[in-house]
Amino acid sequence: EGFSESVRAAVLEKKAIVEMPADALEMAWGYPDRKTFELEGAVKKETWIYADGRKQAVLRDGKVAELK
């Protein structure tokens, strides 16, 4: 609830998409193996690392900005 249709669809398919909120990413991919945190000016940057680094999501201010 409260997510856009594209985010809800991604969660159901266990996929991550750019602009997905952090809580939806956790629903889609589960809790990460590791998280790193940085500040880029006033922007909080988090990198969520899964499967020993084979999957990564970079979040800026709580939303997915990049998938690796």
Cross-strand bridge partners of residue 68? none
Give the global pTM: 0.92
CA distance 27 to 37: 20
pLDDT in tens, 5-20: 999 999 999 999 999 9
Query: Over the stretch 24-61, which tens digit does the pLDDT of each residue have?
Result: 999 999 999 999 999 999 999 999 999 888 999 999 99
